[in-house]
Amino acid sequence: MNDEESEVNQMKHRKRYLATFVLIAVLALTLAGCSGEPNLTTLQPKGSAAEISLDLITLSAYIMFGVMGVVFLIFAYVMIRFRKRKNDDSIPKQVEGSTVLEVVWTVIPIALLIILAIPTVMHTFALSGHLDDEDAINVKVIAHQFWWEFEYPDLGIVTAQDLFIPVGKTINVELTSNDVIHSFWVPNLTGKIDTNPGYVSKEGKQNVNTFWFDAKEEGVYLGKCAELCGSSHALMEFKVIAVSEEKFANWVASMTAPKTSPTTELAQQGEEIFAKNCMMCHAIDNVAGRLGPNLNGVGNRATVAGILPANTTEELKENLAKWIKNPQDVKPGNTMPAFANLLSDAEVDALVEYLSTLQVER
């Protein structure tokens, strides 16, 4: 090999090292993204349904790694044991067909599949439908492009975006959709379950999915729509807020208490503007079936429009105004009109002031 050739070879080597390094760096960065959001992982279950799901994930992972391990071991053994040796040009023993081997590699996968299938089928049935529990809280989930409506038929409550539940109680859920197929998913608490739109039979029966879940610890759990449903699918978030039974009772009382008018002049102006411009689509009491989200308690929800932060009053007001003026900038494809063209800035300010007074105990 002359000098020129060896230099070319060295360059090739360096390029290959560089490519490997870049690949590893990109993979590391991608994986680093996995640890970001708190309470958005199936690997830290905070409820019974999520625990059952994790058990299944663990079982299938053990089986998978077991199979991989055995295959890699046999592979490595064969590679070393039967490698081509120096000065050995003989042809190895030719083997054609082995009944024993064929039976072994047919029976083992079937056995593994059965081991996986039995708990999968059992748990699938156990997790779907409602639990027969007198204390259970019934919730109807109605998905919309791109927000979530929550109805508590036994408590006379309708709300949106924040699903309040008491810790330790069974939540029996009924799911439908108002438009396209969405999927309800709270990684720490539930598996994914579709919400189906459509057909209502003469008996009033709709294509309804049912399931149950619970939360074992107080906390705020992030929920996501898990079915591509339009341009703002990725922004169709919600929160499950698990609180003590006492706090839950206070929330229920506060949500169902008669509404009082605001005390400041600005907020009173806002109330009038709301009545003229917003009432067609939004309710502030527990009325279901309006076009837009129910705004009962919108003054202290976890977010504005399910996606903009509302951690302080200032942030809430800023983001409410942003949303009201140009909702398409926040969630493209939603049905809310842009009020930047319909209301003056002063009117939006009054409206925002009024909305921020619509608070409930939580």
Helix, strand or coil for residue 166? strand
Q: Which is nearer to ligand CUA, 146 or 150 (CB)?
A: 146
Distance CA 8, CA 183 (A): 55
Contact stretch for ligand CUA (CB under 6 A) within 117-125, 228-236, 248-256, 354-362: 228-236
Of the listed pieces 61-69, 118-126, 222-230, 256-264, which binds ligand CUA according to CB under 6 A? 222-230
**CB-wise, 122 or 228, nearer to ligand CUA?**
228
Phi-psi domain of 230 (left: phi exceeds 0; alpha: psi -120 through 50; beta: other): left
Interaction pattern, residues 144-163, with ligand CUA; x per rule: CB under 6 A? --x-----------------
Q: Binding of ligand CUA at residue 227 (CB under 6 A)? A: yes
By CB under 6 A, is residue 222 in contact with ligand CUA?
no
Least distance in angstroms from the C-beta of 179 to ligand CUA: 9
Q: Write out the DSSP string of 192-229.
A: -EEE----B-TT--B--EEEEE--SS-EEEEEEE-S--
Residue 182 near ligand CUA by CB under 6 A: yes
Rule CB under 6 A: is residue 233 a binding residue for ligand CUA?
Answer: yes
Distance CA 41, CA 160 (A): 23
Give the integer Cα–Cα distance in Å for 351 and 268. Answer: 9
Residue 236 contacts ligand CUA per CB under 6 A:
yes
Residue 331 binding ligand CUA, by CB under 6 A: no
Closest CA to 172 of 226, 133, 126, 124: 133
Does 52 bind ligand CUA (CB under 6 A)? Our answer is no
Q: Which stretch binds ligand CUA (CB under 6 A): 155-163, 226-234, 252-260, 336-344?
A: 226-234
CA 214 to chain centroid: 16
Q: Look at the block and give the residue holding tokens 């039976």.
A: 103
Separation of alpha carbons 279 and 190, rounded Å: 34
Q: Which stretch binds ligand CUA (CB under 6 A): 2-10, 186-194, 215-223, 225-233?
A: 225-233
Which chain residues interact with ligand CUA by CB under 6 A? 143, 146, 182, 225, 227-229, 233, 236
